[in-house]
Amino acid sequence: MPSYDYRCRQCGATFEVRRSIAATDTTAACPDGHMDTVKLLSTVSLGGRSAVGAAAPAPSAGGCCGGGCCG
User: Tens-of-pLDDT digits for all 71 residues of the chain?
Assistant: 888 999 999 999 999 999 888 887 888 999 999 999 999 987 666 666 665 655 656 556 555 655 556 65
CA distances from 34 to 7, 12, 15, 69 (A): 10, 10, 12, 66
pTM for this predicted structure: 0.56
> Where is 7: in which H helix or E strand?
strand 3-8
Decide: 28 and 37 in contact? Cβ < 8 Å. yes
